[in-house]
Amino acid sequence: MIIDLNYTIEMLILHYISREVNLMRKKRKSPIEVSALGQYIPMSVEKARRVIDQIRGYSYEKTLMILELMPYQASYPILKLIYSAAANAKQNRGFEKEDLIVWKVEVNKGTTIKKVKPRARGRSYLIKRPTCHITITLKDISYYKLIYENDSLSYFREI
C-alpha to C-alpha distance for 136 and 88, rounded to whole angstroms? 11
User: Per the domain annotation, does 152 fall within a domain?
Assistant: no
Structural domain that includes position 39: 32-147
Please say whether the beta carbons of 106 and 78 come within 8 A. no
User: Per the domain annotation, does 9 fall within a domain?
Assistant: no
Which CATH number do you get for residue 131?
Answer: 3.90.470.10
Task: List per-residue pLDDT tens for the chain, 159 residues long.
Answer: 555 555 566 665 656 666 655 655 555 567 788 999 999 999 999 999 999 999 999 999 999 999 999 999 999 999 999 999 999 999 988 999 999 999 999 999 999 999 999 999 999 999 999 999 999 999 998 877 665 555 554 555 544
Number of domains in the chain: 1
